[in-house]
Amino acid sequence: MKTKRKICIVTGSRAEYELLRPLVREVQSDPTLICKLVVTGMHLSPEYGLTYKQIEADGFRIDAKIEMLLSSNTETSITKSVGLGVFGFASTYEKIKPDLVVLLGDRFEILAAAQAAMFMKVPIAHIHGGELTEGLVDDSIRHSITKMALLHFSATETYRKRIVQLGEDPRRVFNFGAIGVDNALASSLLSRKQFEKKINFNLGQINFLVTYHPVTLEETDNKKGIKALLSALDHFPSSHIIFTRANADAGGKEINLAIESYLKKIGPRAILLTSMGQENYFSAISLVDAVIGNSSSGIIEVPAFNKPTVNIGERQRGREMGASVLSCKEQTADIVKSIKVALSGNFKNRLCQGDSPYGHGGVATKIKNVLKRTHLKGALMKKFYDVSFKYE
HSE toward the beta carbon, residue 11, CA cutoff 13 A? 25
Per-residue pLDDT averaged across 191-207, rounded?
Answer: 96
Residue pLDDT, tens place only, 66-104: 999 887 778 898 899 999 999 999 999 999 999 999 999
Q: How confident is the model at residue 15 (pLDDT cuts 50, 70, 90)?
A: confident
Range list for CATH 3.40.50.2000 in the chain = 5-176+362-373, 189-351
Residue pLDDT, tens place only, 40-70: 999 998 888 888 999 999 999 999 999 998 8
Query: Looking at the predicted structure, is the pLDDT value of residue 353 above 90?
Result: no
Phi, psi (degrees; rounded to nearest 5) at 117 = -65, -40
- Please determine, looking at this structure, whether the domain spanning 189-351 carries the CATH number 3.30.70.3270: no
The CATH T-level fold of domain 5-176+362-373 is Rossmann fold (3.40.50)
Pairwise pLDDT comparison (25 vs 319), residue with the higher score:
25
Per-residue pLDDT averaged across 192-205, rounded?
Answer: 96
**What is the distance, to the nearest Å, from the Cα of residue 335 to the centroid of all Cα atoms in its chain?**
23
**pTM recorded for the entire structure:** 0.77
Q: Which residues contact 375 (CB under 8 A, 6 or more apart)?
A: none
Q: Which pLDDT score is estimated for 218? A: 57
Q: In what order do the strands lie in the sheet with 290-293?
A: 270-273, 239-244, 206-211, 290-293, 309-312, 325-328
Per-residue pLDDT averaged across 227-253, rounded?
Answer: 90
Q: Which pLDDT score is estimated for 392? A: 47
Share of the chain above pLDDT 90, in %: 68
Q: How confident is the model at residue 379 (pLDDT cuts 50, 70, 90)?
A: confident
Per-residue pLDDT averaged across 145-156, rounded?
Answer: 96
Residue 248's nearest CA partner among 8, 10, 16, 9 is 16
Per-residue pLDDT averaged across 263-270, rounded?
Answer: 94
HSE toward the beta carbon, residue 319, CA cutoff 13 A? 32
What's the whole-number average pLDDT of the chain?
A: 91
Pairwise pLDDT comparison (251 vs 51), residue with the higher score:
51
Query: Looking at the predicted structure, is the pLDDT value of residue 219 above 70?
Result: no
CA distance 142 to 135: 13
Q: Which pLDDT score is estimated for 216? A: 63
Per-residue pLDDT averaged across 204-232, rounded?
Answer: 86
Per-residue pLDDT averaged across 205-215, rounded?
Answer: 93
